C-alpha cells in the first residue's frame, strides 16, 4: 500500500525580485546598498585628498619625524634637547599629556566622589555648597577655567625676583616651597645608598596594609569580630618605613629649591601651566563625576538603607557595605567617559603654553615642517589609542566590581 506522503512544499527558486519584495532578504539589500554608498563616499574623499595634494605638489610622508626638531621644550620627563628628532619631541609631548591626564583623573575622582556623596548629605549647608560647586564648574567651559586659573596664578603670585635681597617681599614656605608666578618649586628627594631598602620596606608595608585589611574582613565575616581598621593601617604603613629610614642613617635627603640667577634652581619645578591645566581639568571633570556618583547612590532603593539600618548597621557602614557596592555598577561606566573627556580636554594645554602632544607634534612640529596632514593623523591615532586603552582598563575594572548577578 502506497502511503501518500504530503507533497513537499514547492521549493521556491530564488528570484532577483525577492531582494526587494521578500522581507527575508530586503534588510540585507538595504544594508548592502548603504555599505556600497559608504565605501563610495570614502573613496571619493580619499581621491579628493590625493588629487588636491598632487595639485599642491605635496605628498604624504613621515620622513620629517626623523629630522632634528630644533626647538626646546620646557617640561621634559625624558632627556631631550633641540638636536633630537621630531619623533622624540612628540614623545616628550605624549608623556606630558599622560602626566596631566593621570594627575587630572586621580584628582577629579577624589573631588567627584567627595562632592557627590556630600551633596546627598543631610547637612543643608554642605549639600548646598556641593550643589553650588557642581553647577558652577560644570556649566562654564573648561578652557575658561584653565585660563582663569592660569592668569590668576601669574597675576597673584610673586615673581622669583621678589624672593631676592636681604629683606625680600616674599619668602619660601618652611624654607622649602616657593610659590612663584612661574610655578611652584618643591624639594627634590636625593636618593643615597640604602634608600632602595627604605623604598622596599615602604612597598612591603603597603602590601601588608592590604593583607591586614583582607584578614580583618575575613575575620569579620567568619566570626563577626570586628578589628579596628583605621589606626592599624596607618601604623603598618608608616612605622616600619620610619624605623628603616632612621636605622639606615637617613639615606633620603631633600634638596631645597634655591634662588640662583633668574630662577629657582634645584628642587622640582611644578610649572604654572601644569598646575592650571591639572587643577582646571580636575575641578571641571570632578563636577561631572560628582553627578555620576550622586546618580549612582540615588539609584539604590531607599529600602536598602532602611533594611541595613534595621539590621543595626551604622550610617558609615551602610554606605560602604550596602549602598556603594550597588551604586558602583551605575557609577563606573559614565566615569569612564569622564576620564576619556579629561584626557582629550588636556589638548587645550596650548592655551597656557603647556607642551603636551598637541603643543609639540600638533603645534610646533606641524608649524615648522608644514606637514599638517601627517601630524594631525598621528595626533588622532595617539588620542584614539590612549582613549581605547583607558576604556579597556576601566572596563576590566568595571567587570571586576560590578554586581555578580545570578
Partner 1 sequence: MNRTVFLGALAAAGVTAGVAGAATLDDVKARGVLNCGVNTGLVGFAAPNAEGEWEGFDVAVCRAVAAAVLGDPSAVEFVSLTGKTRFTALASGEIDMLSRNTTWTFTRDVDLKFEFTGINYYDGQGFIVPRELGVSSATELDGASICIQTGTTTELNLADYFRKNNMEYDPVPIETNAEALQLYNEGSCDAYTTDASGLAASRATFENPGDHVILPEIISKEPLGPLVRHGDNEWGDVVRWTLNALIAAEELGITSANIDELSQGTNSPEINRILGTEGNLGEMLGLDPDWAVRAIKAGGNYGEIFARHIGESTPIGLARGLNAQWTEGGLMYAPPFR
Q: Which residues of this chain interact with partner 1, rule CB under 8 A?
A: 42, 45-46, 48-49, 52-53, 55-58, 70-74, 81-83, 151, 154-155, 158-161, 181-182, 260-263, 265, 272, 350-351, 353, 355, 359, 363-364, 367-370, 372-373, 376-377, 380-381, 384, 388
Alpha-carbon distance values, 203 to 157, 209, 217, 233, 234 (Å): 37, 10, 22, 14, 14
**Closer Cβ to partner 1, 187 or 353, answer by number:** 353
Instruction: State residue 252 phi and psi, 5-degree precision.
Output: -110, 120
**Closest C-alpha to 263, from 189, 170, 164, 360:** 164
- Nearest distance from C-beta of residue 188 to partner 1, angstroms: 17
**Closer Cβ to partner 1, 175 or 370, answer by number:** 370
- Nearest distance from C-beta of residue 370 to partner 1, angstroms: 4
**Closer Cβ to partner 1, 82 or 395, answer by number:** 82
3-state secondary structure at position 157: coil
- Nearest distance from C-beta of residue 80 to partner 1, angstroms: 12
Please state, in angstroms and rounded to a whole number, the distance separating the CA atoms of residues 263 and 140: 35
Q: Which residues contact 185 (CB under 8 A, 6 or more apart)?
A: 177, 178, 257, 264, 267, 268, 269, 270
Pairing of strands 263-265, 258-260: antiparallel
**Closer Cβ to partner 1, 127 or 162, answer by number:** 162
Long-range CB contacts for residues 189-194, cutoff 8 Å, separation at least 24: 189/252, 189/253, 189/254, 189/255, 190/252, 190/253, 190/254, 190/255, 191/251, 191/252, 192/251, 192/252, 192/253, 193/251, 194/248, 194/249, 194/251
**Closer Cβ to partner 1, 130 or 386, answer by number:** 386
**Closer Cβ to partner 1, 151 or 215, answer by number:** 151
Please state, in angstroms and rounded to a whole number, the distance separating the CA atoms of residues 319 and 309: 11
Q: Which residues contact 307 (CB under 8 A, 6 or more apart)?
A: none
**Closer Cβ to partner 1, 43 or 136, answer by number:** 43
- Nearest distance from C-beta of residue 157 to partner 1, angstroms: 9
**Closer Cβ to partner 1, 263 or 326, answer by number:** 263
Please state, in angstroms and rounded to a whole number, the distance separating the CA atoms of residues 26 and 16: 11
Instruction: State residue 53 phi and psi, 5-degree precision.
Output: -65, -40
- Nearest distance from C-beta of residue 74 to partner 1, angstroms: 5
Cβ proximity of 274 and 183 under 8 Å:
yes
- Nearest distance from C-beta of residue 190 to partner 1, angstroms: 21
- Nearest distance from C-beta of residue 367 to partner 1, angstroms: 4
- Nearest distance from C-beta of residue 374 to partner 1, angstroms: 9
- Nearest distance from C-beta of residue 366 to partner 1, angstroms: 8
Q: Which residues contact 186 (CB under 8 A, 6 or more apart)?
A: 176, 177, 257, 267, 268, 270
**Closer Cβ to partner 1, 238 or 380, answer by number:** 380
Please state, in angstroms and rounded to a whole number, the distance separating the CA atoms of residues 75 and 360: 11
Amino acid at each position: 500500500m502506497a502511503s501518500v506522503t504530503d507533497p513537499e512544499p514547492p521549493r521556491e527558486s530564488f528570484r532577483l525580485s525577492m531582494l526587494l519584495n521578500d522581507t527575508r532578504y530586503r534588510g540585507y539589500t538595504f544594508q548592502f546598498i548603504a555599505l556600497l554608498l559608504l565605501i563610495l563616499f570614502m573613496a571619493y574623499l580619499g581621491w579628493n585628498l590625493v588629487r588636491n595634494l598632487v595639485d599642491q605638489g605635496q605628498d604624504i610622508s613621515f620622513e620629517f619625524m626623523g629630522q632634528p626638531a630644533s626647538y626646546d621644550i620646557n617640561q621634559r620627563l625624558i632627556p631631550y634637547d633641540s638636536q633630537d628628532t621630531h619623533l622624540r619631541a612628540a614623545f616628550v609631548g605624549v608623556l606630558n599629556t599622560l602626566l596631566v591626564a593621570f594627575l587630572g583623573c586621580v584628582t577629579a575622582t577624589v573631588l567627584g566622589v567627595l562632592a557627590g556623596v556630600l551633596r546627598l548629605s543631610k547637612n543643608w549647608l554642605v549639600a548646598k555648597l556641593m550643589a553650588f560647586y557642581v553647577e558652577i564648574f560644570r556649566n562654564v567651559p573648561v578652557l575658561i577655567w584653565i585660563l582663569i586659573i592660569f592668569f590668576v596664578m601669574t597675576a597673584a603670585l610673586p615673581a622669583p625676583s621678589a624672593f631676592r635681597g636681604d629683606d625680600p617681599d616674599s619668602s619660601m614656605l618652611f624654607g622649602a616651597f616657593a610659590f612663584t608666578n612661574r610655578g611652584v618649586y618643591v624639594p627634590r628627594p636625593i636618593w643615597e645608598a640604602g634608600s632602595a631598602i627604605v623604598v622596599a620596606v615602604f612597598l612591603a608595608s603597603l602590601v601588608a596594609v592590604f593583607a591586614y585589611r583582607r584578614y580583618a574582613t575575613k575575620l569579620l565575616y567568619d566570626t563577626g569580630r570586628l578589628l579596628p581598621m583605621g589606626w592599624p593601617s596607618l601604623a603598618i604603613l608608616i612605622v616600619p618605613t620610619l624605623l628603616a629610614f632612621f636605622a639606615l642613617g637617613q639615606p633620603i635627603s631633600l634638596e631645597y629649591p634655591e634662588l640662583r640667577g633668574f630662577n629657582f634652581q634645584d628642587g622640582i619645578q611644578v610649572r604654572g601651566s601644569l598646575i592650571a591645566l591639572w587643577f582646571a581639568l580636575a575641578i571641571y571633570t570632578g563636577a561631572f563625576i560628582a553627578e555620576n556618583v550622586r546618580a549612582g547612590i540615588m539609584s539604590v532603593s531607599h529600602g536598602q538603607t532602611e533594611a541595613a539600618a534595621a539590621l543595626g548597621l551604622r550610617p558609615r557602614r551602610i554606605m560602604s557595605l550596602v549602598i556603594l557596592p550597588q551604586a558602583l555598577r551605575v557609577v563606573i561606566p559614565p566615569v569612564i567617559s569622564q576620564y576619556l573627556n579629561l584626557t582629550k580636554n588636556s589638548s587645550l594645554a596650548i592655551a597656557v603654553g603647556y607642551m603636551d602632544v598637541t603643543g609639540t607634534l600638533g603645534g610646533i612640529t606641524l608649524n615648522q615642517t608644514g606637514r599638517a596632514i601627517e601630524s594631525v593623523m598621528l595626533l588622532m591615532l595617539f588620542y584614539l589609542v590612549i582613549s581605547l586603552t583607558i576604556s579597556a582598563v576601566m572596563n576590566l575594572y568595571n567587570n571586576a566590581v560590578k554586581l555578580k548577578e545570578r
